[in-house]
Structure formats: structure tokens, C-alpha cells
């Protein structure tokens, strides 16, 4: 963020970074396929050149012309399943249930006014019955988008803070972050499964089949290194993608509500109270996750720390980091209104 000088520049810089990170996934997949071929060649499962190590590596490169189309077909099937079943899968993982307008009309109106102010169809609302404070957006296209909040968040945050959180999640919808994260998770899932299959296969394939390849050892070693590096980078890139998107969504919340103080106050209340049980891929979609990661550990965090997010809101959006809130001042969901002008 060093080059950013304003709110819009901050958003553009993060969007550019996200595109670059996402574009690296196909490169990683091709690299992983190459590593798998080297291991299979070393184990005798694929033919080798019968000559030196350099010739075997060149032969593996030539095989990519046939293996990459096969990998694309498998990835395509994976995408179709994820595309049509993603919401049901996420609901099952988090315990979220759909909320009808008659159940929480004030909360629905709050989200609807935010959506109308940007000319959007109102996303569906979902609730997770937990005291933890968190939220996330899901869905892949217009008419399927959903915003999920926890009961704990509604019990503790006041109207302006809930509005800021809803605006944060709506920004993920506006910026197509939800679709981007699903695509990134699918790529990471493919790479993860392939890498795990490679490692597991090492325990079941016997070495006798590779005695006709004098380069078996180096080929297997190089393949394993490539697979390990690709697997690690896939995880790091997916997590970095999530972190950059949270800065943009915080800025988008301010753009929608014109109230950076409410977003800062909401983050302060959520800090340390956001843990919701869910798989890692879904945790990356939450408003907050792993807020205490610092140093080397922060490389594997799905979100920037609350402190860094608030610092960005203060620096780029002119917000104020006020003293800790009074948790006794809870406002029931039925009292929500909205201050967002509807054009």
C-alpha cells in the first residue's frame, strides 16, 4: 500500500494486486502437472527418454501438450460442481439459515437501502446462531448473492455499525470479490488435492518399476520439490488474495455509508470475538479471521489484523479510532433504521 495516496488509489492498488495474484494460479497448476510427470517418470509410470537427466526433463516438457488439456477438463468438471452447489455447501459448513423479510424486516430494510443506493438487487439474508461476531457474503451471480451475519453481531453492534458491516459485505458483492474468492478456492483445492495424491502415491508405488530409469532418484526429487513449492505458493496466494480484498471492502463500506467511524467501531467490537467454526476455505470469506497473526505467521493469515485495517481507515478514509466501546449498549435488530441516502 506504499504507493497509495487516497481512498480510490488504495482500492485500485488492491484490485490490481488481486488480479495479479489470481493470474498466478494457472501457472502454478501447470508447474504442478510438470512435477507430477517427473515423479511418474521416475517411478516408471510414464516412459522416459532413456538418456540423461536433461533429456528426461525435456521429454517431460513435451508431454505437457497432452496432459494440460486433460487437466483442464478435470478442472472444468470441478468448476461446474462448485458453481451450482456452492451456496448449499457453504450453508452446510457454517450452519447458516435463510431469513425471510417477515422475520427481520428492519435488518432486511437496512441491507435493501444499501443495495438500492447502488442500483443492486437486494441479496438474500442469512443468520448463523452463534454468539461470535462475524459476517460474510456468498453467491456467484445476480439473484444468488447472499449476506450472512451472526446472531452475536446483531446483539452487540448498534445500527450504524451493523450498517457498516452490511456495506462491507455488499462491497464484496459489488467488486465481484465473492466470485473471485470461489475461483481462487477452487484452484487452491485442485492444487491441494493433486499435491496430496502425489504424496500419498509415494507410499503405494513400489520402486522396482523404475529400475529401467537411471535418473529415477533426481526426477522424483525434482518433482517433489516442484509439487511442494506449488502447493505452498497456492495456499499463500489464496490467503494474500483474501487479505487484500478486506482492505478494499472496508474502504467500500465507507464509500457506501460515509461513516468510517462506524466501520472502525464495528471492527473494535468484533476484535477477539469473531471465531466461527468452518473450513479454512470458508474462513477466508468472513469479515474477520485470525486477527492476531503477526510476523512470519501473518503470511498464512486469511485477513489483515484489525489494527492494520483500522490504521488504513484512519489514514485513507479520515476515520477516528475512539476508545473501546460499551458492550452493554446492545441494540436489538428490530430497532435498525438507515441513514444511507437512496438516489
Residues with catalytic function = 169
Comparing CA positions, the residue from 43, 33, 50, 28 lying closest to residue 218 is: 43
Element (H, E) at 281: helix 280-283
Contact (CB, 8 A) for 317 and 262: no
Q: Is 319 exposed, middle or buried (0-12, 13-18, 19+ CB in 10 A)?
A: buried
Give the whole-angstrom CA distance, residue 233 versus residue 217: 24
Angle at 204 between CA 199 and CA 206, to 5 degrees: 110
Give the whole-angstrom CA distance, residue 227 versus residue 260: 44
Nine-digit cell at 218?
Answer: 533426481
Strand order in the sheet with 135-138: 97-99, 124-128, 146-150, 135-138
Amino acid at each position: 500500500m506504499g504507493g497509495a495516496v487516497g481512498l480510490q488509489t488504495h482500492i485500485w492498488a488492491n484490485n490490481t494486486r488481486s488480479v495479479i495474484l489470481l493470474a498466478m494460479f494457472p501457472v502454478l497448476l501447470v508447474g504442478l502437472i510438470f512435477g507430477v510427470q517427473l515423479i511418474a517418470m521416475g517411478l516408471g509410470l510414464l516412459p522416459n527418454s532413456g538418456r540423461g537427466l536433461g533429456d528426461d526433463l525435456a521429454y517431460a516438457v513435451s508431454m505437457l501438450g497432452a496432459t494440460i488439456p486433460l487437466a483442464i477438463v478435470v478442472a472444468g468438471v470441478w468448476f461446474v460442481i462448485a458453481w451450482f452447489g456452492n451456496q448449499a455447501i457453504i450453508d452446510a459448513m457454517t450452519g447458516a439459515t435463510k431469513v425471510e423479510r417477515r422475520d427481520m424486516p428492519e435488518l432486511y430494510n437496512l441491507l435493501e437501502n444499501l443495495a438500492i443506493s447502488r442500483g443492486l438487487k437486494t441479496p438474500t439474508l442469512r443468520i448463523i446462531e452463534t454468539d461470535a461476531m462475524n459476517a460474510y457474503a456468498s453467491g456467484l451471480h445476480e439473484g444468488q448473492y447472499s449476506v450472512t451475519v451472526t446472531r452475536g453481531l446483531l446483539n452487540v453492534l448498534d445500527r450504524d455499525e451493523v450498517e457498516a458491516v452490511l456495506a462491507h459485505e455488499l462491497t464484496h458483492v459489488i467488486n465481484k470479490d465473492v466470485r473471485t474468492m470461489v475461483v481462487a478456492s477452487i484452484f487452491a483445492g485442485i492444487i491441494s488435492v493433486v499435491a496430496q495424491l502425489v504424496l500419498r502415491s509415494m507410499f503405494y508405488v513400489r520402486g522396482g518399476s523404475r529400475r529401467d530409469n537411471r535418473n529415477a532418484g533426481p526426477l522424483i526429487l525434482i518433482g517433489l520439490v516442484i509439487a511442494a513449492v506449488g502447493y505452498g505458493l497456492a495456499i499463500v496466494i489464496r490467503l494474500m488474495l483474501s487479505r487484500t480484498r478486506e482492505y478494499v471492502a472496508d474502504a467500500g463500506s465507507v464509500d457506501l455509508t460515509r461513516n468510517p467511524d462506524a466501520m472502525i467501531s464495528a471492527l473494535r467490537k468484533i476484535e477477539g470475538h469473531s471465531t466461527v467454526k468452518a473450513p479454512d476455505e470458508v474462513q477466508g470469506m468472513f469479515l474477520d479471521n485470525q486477527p492476531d497473526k503477526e510476523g512470519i505467521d501473518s503470511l498464512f493469515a486469511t485477513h489483515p489484523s484489525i489494527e492494520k485495517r483500522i490504521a488504513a481507515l484512519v489514514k485513507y478514509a479520515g476515520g477516528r479510532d475512539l476508545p473501546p466501546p460499551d458492550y452493554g449498549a446492545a441494540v436489538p435488530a428490530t430497532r435498525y433504521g438507515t441513514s444511507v441516502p437512496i438516489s
